[in-house]
Amino acid sequence: MSVTLRHPGTVLTDHVFPVPLDHELPEGEQIEVYAREVVAAGREHEELPWLLFLQGGPGNPSPRPLGQDAWLGAALQHYRVLLLDQRGTGRSTPVNRQSLALRGSAQHQAQYLAHFRSDAIVRDAELVRRRLLGEGTRWSTLGQSYGGFCTLAYLSYAPESIRESFVTGGLPGLRTSVEDVYRAAYPRVAAKNRAHYARYPQDVDAVRDIAAHLVEHDVRLPDGSPLSVERFQYVGMLLGQGSGSDTLHYLLENAWIRGVSGPELSDVFLETTRSLVSAGGAPLFAALHEPIYAQRSVDPGGTRWAAQRVRGEFPGFDAAGALEKGEPVHFTGEMIYPWMFEQDPALAPLSEAAHLLADRGDWPDLYDTARLAANEVPVYAAVYHGDMYVDRDHSLATADAVPHVRTWVTNEWEHDALRVSRGKVLERLIGMAHGEV
């Protein structure tokens, strides 16, 4: 039974849909997918077009709205919105160390996890569309970051179901190898490091002091897990967000406190760092981060921890070398490394399954390039000039390869602009769709 409640300015309705774990076996094991319908208060009985929101990730649930916050206000002027918790996330059948333990062996866990990529997500969306809107219907889509990857998979699988698509920071490379993804990523992350240290030059010594302390001491986070230098470098994920550089600086400001044995890393610093480096809230993000790029026609050998292998080509991210040479220590970005499955308690039980996924070489292709070359669905995409997470050049190459993709390239915003721009980014894309821009 659907549950409906009211927030200020919105009416929310819960929906739960059974879907096959494996869409090639529709009568086989079933899982649940949850979605929240959102409509502007007073318009709940109107015949409004639907907008499906595809969240970034992988492994993150849709946002939990508080009235018409973030981009919802702009969307609800035109649409009835469906916030989909992609399979494995949020209120959909969950995937984490606790639920995966029920699958038994690491091999069975890896086989299960292989069903949680964008190809399965868009087939879930198709079942939801038919059950909620009916046969022969179409809806619009809004894909943020990884949601844009899902959008291109959707346009490959069922373009006839889509009226128009909006993409923010998420046009993927269609034929880009996973190694090339990271060869393009490391220089972008290095540029964000340089920009941060230029903004906050005092942080050069602050980071070096913390890194040197971590080399010399066994530092534990409040959950008991180790804070290694490599793990500390991972807080560089912040640098791809609009206010991320400032947030990082404030984290470093609170790093030290004087204890009985002299200066030590403060509990405030350690707890905040724990929240930034733990995958407890989104283990699928780590387990599937490289497999979301894998396509057997592009990477027949599998992903094989590409971020770790490619990292050696960029010595600027070697913290030990930077300390020895007296150079700034660079943070890393949106890279997942095998050691994370040893140091993070939320990931350690998934370690063997993650290694099996990294070795897999027969991943189905995600994008039908021939079908995309004949695309007729209008796509309006915001491409962020300095995006740390999704490569601008890969995005623009895809826009050139797929007809009816119109891009807005901007350096005004970072990757999180959809969330933090108070609707301005979505308003711009909707204006493009309406011929106003």
Beta-carbon contacts of residue 89 (< 8 Å; ≥ 6 apart):
55, 57, 59, 60, 61, 95, 282, 284
Vertex 429 angle, CA 53 and 294, to 5°: 50
- SS3 of residue 74 by DSSP: helix
Q: Is 421 a catalytic residue?
A: no
Rounded Cα distance, 114 and 41, in Å: 40
Q: Is 87 in contact with 111 (CB distance < 8 Å)?
A: no
Amino acid letter at 282? A
The active-site residue, picked from 45, 218, 261, 362, is 362
The active-site residue, picked from 196, 289, 330, 415, is 415
Q: Is 395 a catalytic residue?
A: no
- Upper half-sphere CA count for residue 195 (Cβ side, 13 Å): 19
Rounded Cα distance, 294 and 389, in Å: 17
Q: Is 84 left (phi over 0), alpha (psi -120 to 50) or beta?
A: beta
Q: Which two tokens stand for residue 155?
A: 């346009």
Q: H-helix or E-strand containing 117? A: none
Q: Is 331 left (phi over 0), alpha (psi -120 to 50) or beta?
A: beta
Q: H-helix or E-strand containing 378? A: none
Which residue has tokens 């220590």? 329
Which residue has tokens 């959809």? 418
Rounded Cα distance, 383 and 234, in Å: 24
Rounded Cα distance, 35 and 26, in Å: 20
Report DSSP state, residue 291. G
Q: Is 250 in contact with 311 (CB distance < 8 Å)?
A: no
The candidate with the shortest Cα–Cα distance to 36, out of 62, 73, 71, is: 62
Q: Is 7 a catalytic residue?
A: no
Helices 267-277/244-253 angle, 10° precision = 150
- SS3 of residue 50 by DSSP: strand
The candidate with the shortest Cα–Cα distance to 228, out of 328, 329, 312, 307, is: 329
The active-site residue, picked from 145, 245, 278, 395, is 145
List active site positions.
145, 362, 415
